[in-house]
């Protein structure tokens, strides 16, 4: 994720970029609804006028790849407020009026490549405004797939991805996680397609319209950060999994998806036992086409999931547990700005692990935690070491190295648990979610709550935990807890024998989960002979593996050795998987190989680009362009 330019930051009225770059804590958001943390990734001025509700009435136009219609915004304005400032990234606005149809003057300010433009609307005493518009051409949040790019090959597909600040390309609102909003929507789609959204579905079967289309209605009565407003339209089937859960996908994938996610009700029960009731009604899931750029997205009532986690052995259902955990950490209590995204992801990774332990046992949870710790150390090394600024949890938005928001954040919480005891920490976290439900949070606010409700003036415990060092300083404090897995220890013994020269055929991979494969492949030295790579590929069936994680890890070995026999399957892989976690390291590895790798990457991307989400396209293009000057 690219940072805001300094020019864009000068346009901000909310805060300067420097304030969030300091190591010292920033002021915490208070509980008062009218108080807002400073967010450099929005043009909004919520302390003057804020959006409290969004009412969408939109038509999906697959021919022109646009959504068009209206958005009615409820605005809460302070006395004397003359205008409301929204976020706009390329929206094509036809008119803005009050509810009587009277035109309201508006201006669209200077555009920034990342942030878009401020859209300032004069209020003239109105607390509702109606915007008639179409989504931006090539909107960052939307991917329109032709029917050929779907599993069935018969009907087109549309899905959105709002996090972190993409929804401003199809919804005119204040696109900041700290400005929570309720919403409702009517979505009109071509006959034969089904619309789903991240809210209560009021018309399960659609309502026919006079022109032969169908409309679906949705609502979300809980205030949510706007990035959680999500939409998908396609040829969708549904299968119930439990009283309050089910899965959507294209019909061709529904049986495999339902089988893979059969344990979701157990996960919901485990999560509620840990940290209180699930407050969002249903918990449904949507398996998207392969171009979905993430493993999952925690949209309320409807988690979006990549098909890459469907491997037939349920070894990747930690992704489901992760997105479910976001129903508490992220959706219920949300990072107020993207400088504190670890409050979403670190909490959720810790919580996810606790769910996996409750459902599958301590050793499986230990396996995930052990892998995460190893990846955390790798991310710190890749960032430049323990002193690198990008290894801090709180800092410039989007600047945290690798997955440190997830893994350093969860290790921080696990370290607190070890210090105070699990029972005491669980009691604290349950209270934390209750105290801050449906509100944004900052790092400083979390630490203040922790000191008030857990540490309670215990100086010895305060010193032991090193809270400020964890939150605001780079690197890894010396009290970090490393959970070790006996299952991965056995893999390490297989790995040691192989690295000592043992044959690939002697490696016993029978019944290996994804995590065991990753431990092994990530432990193989990158420098190998062509003969050894051929032996690995043939003996372990790597290029032909049906597991996307295994394939990606294998190519990370093959590419640095310029192993030509793997190139055809590598290109095919890059053309069939759009998940950024899996393709990013491959493009990076190819670019690191100079002209040889660049030529392969350019050729692969040219074929794959039409099937990538705009976010994955931008990421790949940035890698192929080389380091910025």
- Reported as a single tens digit per residue, the pLDDT across 131-189 is 999 999 999 999 999 988 888 889 999 999 999 999 999 999 999 999 999 999 999 99
Question: Can 298 be counted among the known catalytic residues?
Answer: no
Q: According to CATH, what is the number of the domain 41-136+155-231?
A: 2.60.40.1730
Sign of CA dihedral 115, 117, 118, 119: negative
Write the CATH number of the domain with boundaries 487-625: 1.25.40.320
Quick one: tokens of 411?
């290790």
Average pLDDT per run of 10 along the chain, which is 629 residues long? 26 27 32 69 97 98 98 96 98 98 98 97 96 97 91 93 97 98 98 97 93 97 98 97 96 96 97 98 95 92 96 92 98 97 98 98 97 96 96 95 97 98 98 98 98 98 98 98 97 97 95 95 96 96 95 97 97 94 96 97 95 90 82
- Residues in contact with 65: Cβ distance below 8 Å, sequence separation at least 6, in sequence order: 137, 138, 142, 144
Beta-bridge partners for 184:
55, 219
What does R_g of the chain's alpha carbons equal in angstroms? 24
Give the pair of three-digit tokens for residue 521: 């492949």
Q: Are the beta carbons of 45 and 85 closer than 8 angstroms?
A: yes
First-residue to last-residue Cα distance in the chain: 17
- How crowded is residue 559: how many other Cβ atoms within 10 Å of its Cβ? 26
pLDDT confidence of residue 32: 34
Question: What pLDDT is attached to residue 24?
Answer: 34
Nearest by Cα to 339 from 8, 12, 42: 42
Residue 97 bridge partners (DSSP): 103, 130
406 tagged catalytic:
yes
Residue 186: closest CA among 177, 195, 174: 195
Q: Which CATH class, in words, describes the domain spanning 236-327? A: alpha beta
Which CATH number among 1.20.1440.230, 1.10.1740.10, 1.10.390.10, 3.60.10.10 corresponds to the domain 333-472? Answer: 1.10.390.10
Domain ranges across the chain = 41-136+155-231, 236-327, 333-472, 487-625
The catalytically annotated residue of 323, 352, 357, 494 is: 323
List the beta bridge partners of residue 71. 56, 131
> What pLDDT is attached to residue 7?
26
- Amino acid 220: pLDDT: 98
pLDDT recorded at residue 8: 28
pTM, rounded to two decimals: 0.89
What integer pLDDT is reported at residue 628 of this predicted model? Answer: 56
Closest C-alpha among 468, 266, 251, 238 to residue 359 = 266
Given 406, 432, 549, 563, which residue is catalytic?
406
């Amino acid at each position: 994720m690219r940072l805001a330019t300094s020019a864009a930051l000068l346009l901000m009225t909310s805060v300067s970029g420097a304030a969030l770059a300091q190591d010292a804590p920033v002021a915490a958001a208070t509980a008062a609804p009218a108080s807002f943390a400073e967010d450099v990734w929005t043009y909004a001025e919520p302390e003057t006028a804020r959006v409290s509700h969004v009412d969408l009435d939109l038509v999906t136009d697959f021919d022109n790849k646009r959504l068009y219609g209206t958005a009615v915004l409820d605005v809460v304005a302070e006395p004397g407020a003359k205008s409301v400032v929204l976020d706009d990234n390329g929206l094509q606005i036809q008119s803005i009026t009050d509810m009587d149809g009277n035109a309201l003057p508006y201006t669209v300010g200077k555009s920034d490549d990342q942030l878009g433009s401020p859209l300032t609307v004069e209020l003239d005493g109105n607390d509702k405004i109606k915007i008639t518009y179409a989504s931006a051409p090539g909107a960052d949040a939307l991917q329109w797939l032709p029917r050929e790019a779907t599993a069935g090959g018969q009907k087109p597909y549309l899905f959105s991805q709002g996090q972190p600040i993409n929804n401003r390309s199809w919804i005119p609102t204040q696109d900041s996680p700290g400005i929570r909003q309720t919403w409702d929507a009517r979505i009109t789609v071509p006959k034969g397609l089904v619309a789903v959204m991240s809210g209560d579905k009021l018309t399960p079967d659609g309502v026919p319209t006079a022109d032969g289309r169908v409309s679906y209605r949705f609502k979300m009565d809980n205030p949510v950060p706007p990035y959680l407003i999500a939409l998908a339209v396609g040829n969708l089937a549904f299968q119930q999994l439990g009283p309050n859960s089910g899965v959507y996908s294209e019909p061709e994938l529904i049986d495999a998806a339902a089988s893979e996610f059969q344990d979701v009700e157990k996960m919901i029960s485990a999560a509620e036992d840990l940290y209180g009731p699930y407050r969002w009604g249903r918990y449904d899931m949507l398996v998207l086409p392969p171009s979905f750029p993430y493993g999952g997205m925690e949209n309320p009532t409807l988690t979006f999931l990549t098909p890459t986690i469907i491997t037939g052995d349920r070894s990747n259902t930690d992704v489901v547990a992760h997105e479910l955990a976001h129903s508490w950490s992220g959706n219920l209590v949300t990072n107020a700005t993207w400088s504190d995204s670890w409050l979403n992801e670190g909490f959720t990774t810790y919580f996810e692990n606790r769910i996996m332990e409750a459902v599958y046992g301590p050793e499986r949870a230990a396996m995930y935690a052990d892998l995460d710790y190893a990846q955390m150390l790798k991310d710190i090394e890749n960032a430049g070491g323990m002193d690198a600024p990008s290894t801090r949890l709180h800092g410039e938005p989007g600047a945290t190295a690798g997955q440190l928001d997830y893994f350093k954040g969860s290790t921080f919480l696990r370290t607190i648990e070890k210090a105070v005891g699990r029972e005491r920490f669980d009691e604290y976290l349950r209270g934390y979610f209750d105290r801050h439900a449906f509100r944004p949070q900052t790092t400083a606010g979390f630490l203040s709550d922790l000191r008030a409700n857990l540490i309670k003036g215990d100086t010895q415990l305060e010193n032991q935990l090193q809270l400020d060092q964890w939150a605001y300083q780079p690197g890894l404090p010396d009290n970090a807890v490393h959970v070790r897995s006996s299952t991965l220890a056995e893999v390490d013994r297989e790995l040691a024998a192989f690295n000592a020269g043992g044959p690939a055929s002697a490696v016993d991979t029978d019944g290996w989960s994804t995590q065991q494969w990753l431990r092994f492949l990530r432990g193989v030295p990158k420098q190998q002979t062509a003969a050894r790579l051929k032996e690995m590929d043939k003996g372990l069936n790597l290029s032909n593996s049906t597991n996307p994680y295994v394939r990606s890890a294998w190519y990370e070995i093959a590419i640095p050795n310029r192993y030509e026999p793997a190139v055809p399957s590598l290109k095919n892989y890059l053309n069939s998987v759009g998940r950024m976690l899996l393709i990013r390291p491959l493009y990076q590895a190819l670019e690191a190989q100079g002209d040889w790798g660049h030529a392969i990457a350019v050729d692969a991307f040219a074929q794959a680009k039409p099937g990538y989400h705009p976010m994955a396209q931008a990421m790949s293009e940035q890698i192929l362009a080389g380091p910025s000057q």
